[in-house]
């Protein structure tokens, strides 16, 4: 039986995005990166989440090329970094990313952080890339409700995805419901809170009941919440483990127990206090 999770979410424009992908932040060793992404594609991952700032778009492109998987079966996301924001700058940065990835279109392109005074123009450029069919979907990252309201007030094409830090210690309920009301799918970054929640007793206990690891329980929680999850790992064993979540279901009670772990605790930067470049 194929245990690798393969479901999709349908974005506002009707295209399908795999609900589970490989995040590649902090994959800095080129050989390790190539090997991790290649292995993920081999075992069935079809979505890769990279960004210009991760400095591994080149290796991501090589892994895609060497995999031999038809382009239309993959879902590739990248992001424009803060120092490249603004209308013309974003268009230029996109061209650079596309070149490094050796692709002629991306599936999704995101504003990495809402840089004050610039994120509106950055999103206008993303809309233009969409109109020109250089990306299949538009989106943003680290946008709070007030940033999204500002974008929605002017956008001809509303963002289809918002990628935010989200895990059982930071469940982001108000932002998630705002996104839901506006047809914006949510991607959870640091879905495992960078490993900091793996020793939580409640999660361990639920894992024991299903014969699953804590990481698998957390990933299943994201997926059953309709979220897109992009756990990162360079270990072959963990890459496979994180996607082997198609053969069990958490009960309503278990889902609620996990919801109750929320502490509004971030592992990464808060978009409100982000150092605006």
Minimum distance from CB of 38 to ligand NAP (Å)?
15
CB of 186 vs ligand NAP, minimal distance in Å = 12
> How many whole angstroms separate alpha carbon 86 and alpha carbon 92?
10
Nearer to ligand NAP, 131 or 272 (CB): 272
Interface residues for ligand NAP in 64-103 (CB under 6 A)? Answer: none
Beta bridge partners of 18: 8
Stretch that binds ligand NAP, among 97-105, 148-156, 185-193, 220-228 (CB under 6 A): 185-193
User: Which one from 5, 39, 45, 54 is the annotated catalytic residue?
Assistant: 54
Shorter beta-carbon distance to ligand NAP: residue 28 or 156: 28
User: Looking at 47, 49, 82, 136, which residue binds ligand NAP (CB under 6 A)?
Assistant: 49
Binders of ligand NAP among residues 143 to 172 (CB under 6 A) are: 163
Q: What is the DSSP string of the chain?
A: ---S---EEE-TTS-EEESB-EE-TT--SHHHHHHHHHHHHHHT--EEE--GGGT-HHHHHHHHHHH---GGG-EEEEEE-GGG-SHHHHHHHHHHHHHHHT-S-EEEEEESS--TTTHHHHHHHHHHHHHTTSEEEEEEES--HHHHHHHHHH-SS--SEEEEE-BTTB--HHHHHHHHHTT-EEEEESTTGGGTTTT-HHHHHHHHHHT--HHHHHHHHHHHTT-EE--B---HHHHHHHH--SS----HHHHHHHHTT-----SS--TTS----
Q: Is 24 in the site for ligand NAP (CB under 6 A)?
A: yes
Which of 190, 240, 244, 258 lies at the binding interface for ligand NAP (CB under 6 A)? 190
The reply to whether 54 belongs to the active site is: yes
Site map (CB under 6 A) of ligand NAP, residues 227-266, x = contact = ---xxxxxx--x--xx------------------------
Ranked by CB distance to ligand NAP, the top (closest) residue is 23
- Binding ligand NAP (rule: CB under 6 A), the pick from 89, 128, 195, 266 is 195
Q: How far is the CB of 93 from ligand NAP (least distance, A)?
A: 15
- Dihedral in degrees, nearest 10, Cα atoms 261, 184, 95, 36: 40
Does residue 203 belong to the site contacting ligand NAP (CB under 6 A)? no
Is residue 140 at the binding interface for ligand NAP, with CB under 6 A as the rule? no
Active site residues: 54
Q: Residues in the site for ligand NAP, rule: CB under 6 A?
A: 23-26, 49, 112, 141-142, 163, 189-195, 198, 213, 215, 230-235, 238, 241-242, 268
């Amino acid at each position: 039986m194929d245990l690798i999770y393969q479901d999709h979410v349908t974005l506002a424009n009707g295209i399908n995005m795999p609900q589970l992908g490989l995040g590649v932040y902090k994959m800095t060793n080129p050989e390790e990166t190539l090997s991790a992404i290649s292995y993920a594609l081999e075992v069935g991952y079809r979505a890769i989440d990279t960004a210009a700032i991760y400095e591994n778009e080149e290796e991501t492109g090589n892994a895609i090329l060497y995999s031999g998987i038809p382009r239309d079966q993959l879902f590739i996301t990248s992001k424009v970094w803060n120092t490249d924001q603004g209308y013309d700058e974003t268009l230029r940065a996109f061209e650079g990313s596309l070149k490094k990835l050796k692709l002629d279109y991306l599936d999704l392109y995101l504003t990495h952080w809402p840089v004050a005074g610039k994120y509106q123009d950055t999103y206008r450029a993303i809309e233009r890339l969409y109109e020109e069919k250089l990306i299949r979907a538009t989106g943003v990252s680290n946008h709070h409700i007030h940033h999204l309201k500002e974008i929605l007030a002017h956008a001809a094409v509303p963002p289809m995805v918002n990628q935010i830090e989200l895990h059982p210690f930071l469940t982001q309920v108000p932002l998630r419901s705002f996104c839901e009301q506006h047809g914006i799918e949510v991607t959870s970054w640091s879905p495992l809170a960078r490993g900091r929640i793996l020793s939580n007793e409640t999660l361990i206990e639920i894992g024991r009941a299903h014969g699953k690891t804590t990481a698998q329980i957390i990933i299943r929680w994201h997926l059953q919440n309709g979220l897109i999850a992009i756990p990162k790992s360079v270990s072959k064993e963990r890459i496979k483990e994180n996607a082997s979540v198609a053969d069990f279901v958490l009960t309503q009670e278990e889902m609620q127990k996990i919801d109750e772990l929320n502490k509004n605790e971030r592992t990464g930067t808060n978009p409100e206090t982000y150092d605006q470049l």
